Amino acid sequence: MSREDKYLVVIPFFAGGAQGRELEYAIAGWRRHFKEPYQIVIVGDYHPVVDTGDDITFIECERVPEQPQGNYRPHIDFVKKFKAVHNAFPKSDGFIFVADDVYAVNDFDIIDVKVFKQQSAKLKVRNNSPWEKEKEKTICLLEQNGYPTRNFTTHLPTWIEWDKLEELWDRFDMEHNSYIFEDLYFNIYYGDRVALTLHIDYDNYKCGVYRPSPRWEYIERALKNKIWIQNSVEGWTDRLDRFLAEYYGI
């Protein structure tokens, strides 16, 4: 089977944003639990883990420069990195987008990835941080064009079709204007679909770790009742590092 016939698992990697061994644990999770033919694509900065198997393709891609005020640098950078991936795999229909801080702890397949999931029924701006400003900008664009404003940014693996994504790039000049692309993608193309709303107490997909002192019983229980553990910058701690190292045996 050629690389083009496998599911592309695309992980943009910025070494300057890494806090620890997140990328290693993320890759260990795909190797242990994804029950489909796959090719992991690390695009961005080099990490030694890219040399650990033929199931990884590394595409070196320098980060875009600082952006003018009003643009969120990581999202402009995503466009550049995704274009590099499509150039390397021109025959692929789509890809699984995932960050390096998402760790599979139970078996799953492409059906689990493609299930429509939303974080909430409405995008809401909570503060004045760069991410929240980007969210406000995305909400305004969706409202101006008559689309729903559901929160589809779940920080879980997401299936993206190239033709739809590239249509958005062209339509909104996303090489120069940043938006939360997942929220544009799913609200524009799938805004009328019934989606599963994530909730740590009820869904079987995600255990989010978003603070230094989380409820550890939830994290331990995730090994039995969730597919993925995912952390924010604030949620990354030495204890979580040790927990994942023990789980993956690395």
Percent of the chain with pLDDT over 90: 95
The per-residue pLDDT for range 35-74, each reduced to its tens digit, is 999 999 999 999 999 999 999 999 999 999 999 999 999 9
Contact indicator for 73, 176 with CB cutoff of 8 Å: no
Domains, the chain, in order of start with CATH, read 3-101+116-196 (3.90.550)
Contacts (Cβ under 8 Å, ≥6 apart) of 69: none
The SS3 of residue 42 is: strand
The per-residue pLDDT for range 153-208, each reduced to its tens digit, is 999 999 999 999 999 999 999 999 999 999 999 999 999 999 999 999 999 999 99
CA distance 155 to 232: 9
Percent of the chain with pLDDT over 70: 98
